[in-house]
Structure formats: C-alpha cells, structure tokens
Amino acid sequence: MSEGDEDETVMAACTACESVFAAKETANGTILPIGRPQGCQCGSTDFEPVTTPDDRLSKRASD
C-alpha cells in the first residue's frame, strides 16, 4: 500500500473460495471488500490483494 493514512482501492481475492472483489486496503493492511461488510458470500472474512489480474487464474490452473 502507498504511504500515508488513506485507504487504497485494490482488487482482492477471498482466501477460501477465490472470489474476487473490489476492496479497500486500510493503512494497517486490513482488506475490506466494498459492499460486503460481512465478508465473502462463502462466509470467509480473509482476503488477499491480487497484484495482477492473472494471479488468480495462474493459481487455479496449477491446482
């Protein structure tokens, strides 16, 4: 995340089901999916930033 106290808009993936969301990454590194205050539809609240659009596809292809 960039320097400062502002939230950054990122693409994030659920660590449980790999659904991808637009999200806000807070200054402390917490990732909050936009429009999903309860977390993912699968029930998970753990997300990881997607650094490139191909990250999720590459992981699925190798599974």
pLDDT in tens, 7-60: 899 999 999 999 999 999 999 999 999 999 899 999 999 999 998 766 555 555
Domain residue spans of the chain: 8-62
Identify the pLDDT of residue 14.
96
pLDDT of residue 1: 47
How far apart, in whole angstroms, are the C-alpha atoms of residue 33 and residue 9? 9
Q: Which long-range contacts (CB under 8 A, 24 or more apart) does 2-10 make?
A: 9/34, 10/49, 10/50
Give the pLDDT of residue 31: 94
Task: State if pTM tops 0.85.
Answer: no
